Structure 1
Amino acid sequence: MSRSAPKSNVALLTEGASYIQRAKKARREQVEEIKFDDEARREWLTGFSKRKKAKAEEKKARAKERDHLAHLKERREARADLRKKAAENVKSVRRAMGLEDLSDDDDEDDEDEDDLPGPSKSKAQEAEEEYSDEDQLATVTITEDFDPSSIQPQFAGYDSDEEGEGASRPQQREEEKPKAKPKVKILPPSSAKLQKLREKKKAEKKKSTSMETASERRKGREMEARRRTKKAELARGREGGGSSRGGGARGGKRGRGKGRR
């Protein structure tokens, strides 16, 4: 048996390179081809309605989200306005009662205390409920365990001042109270204004609200005039016929009466 000659080191090391060269040559000589994905093509051709519905649903969801955010913004603004009005009402009531206005620092401290976590320091229990719709927002706060003794010290000093100062203190309180606006009845309008208003109303009534043109209105007037003349002629003809018939009948009766005599 003949044995093949052993390969040299160079042949062994370059043997892989020959395989790579042959693979590259095969790829270069390969003809390009296009492969169709029938499943993807079918889905694209039959999915127009589905994609359209998906886009519409996405638009609806975005519009709903925008409306929700706008509603939340309106609620926040309404709450801020209610807080502002409540603060103004408290100030006006305290001024009317002759008490000092609460400073801004105290308000800020109260807000900070409210923001802090943990149980409230006040003994009174408050229950807050909100009722809202598209146009209005109402906040109802119910305070339980009301202690009227907490208000007595404020009015005790007030009474002592009244006794000491006499009649001067009530005058000062009256000056501090906001002056009520005089109730003036609305005066009736003058005769000239009334006449102008009446003339204006009459002119508005006279204005034609029809959509007819001038020629159509003229034609309508002519047809109405013809109809009236025809009615008048018919009425005159009836009257003339009735009188002639009545005269003949009366004459016949007279003739018969003469014959009898």
Structure 2
Amino acid sequence: MVKRSNVSLLTEGAAYIQRAKKARAEQVDEIKFDDTARREYLTGFSKRKKQRTEDRRNRAKERDKEAHKEAVRKARKDLQERAEENERTVREALGLSAKKESGDEEEQVEPTTIEAEFSDEEQAATVTITEDFDPSAAVRTYVESADEGSGDEDEAKAKAKAKATVPILPASSRRAEQRAKREKELAVAKANKKEEKKSRSMETPAEKKRGREMDQRKRQKKIDKDRARGIEPGHRSKAAGGKGGKGAKGAKGAKGNKKGGRR
């Protein structure tokens, strides 16, 4: 009997392990067909198309919402700038100093400090009073505000007098002005409605084409029905009213045609 070494005994299973690993690596994966997923794919074309249409509509609504928010932000910014410009104009007209920007440091008023000493036979005390109030500044502010108030009253009286001297428009001119204003408002409302309708139209080109085809079929069907009844397209009013036209004249024309037929 051949004597085996310890190394050969301990590594006897290594060859089997290597062969098993190689066999597993070369093994072909099993191919499985999912009938449920296949059926879902083959029967879900319409559902997926509707989902894509809904996604496009949602994206369009989101774009409109963002555009509206941007317009509101821009309008607010313009309004704030206009208000600041008006404030600067008014302060310049009143002769006041320009308003300081937020970055500038405000002037700090140094507080007034008053010290007084009190003493008697038993004890002594020192009292310190710090005041931030300036009476002269308050008096000056009151005087300036009174002057500004009188100036505003004079300006208001002058404006009222100038307004009273404007001649009153005649009734016809007022009516014409109101009519022009109403027409302008209607035109603006119509333009806004048209723009809103145009922006909110979510129809796809295929849907628009299908709608046009349906309208064409309806018109053709109506024309065929009129021809079957003996009415040519575009002559419905003439056939109904006779040579005399509409109303009483049409009735007279029809009576004349009947008399002519009897003769």
TM-score range, shorter chain: 0.3 to 0.5
Normalised to the residue count of structure 1, the TM-score between the two structures is 0.34
Q: When the two structures are superposed, what TM-score results if normalisation uses the length of structure 2?
A: 0.34
Does 1 or 2 have the higher relative contact order (CA < 8 Å, sep 6+)? 1
Instruction: State the structure with more CA Rg.
Output: 1
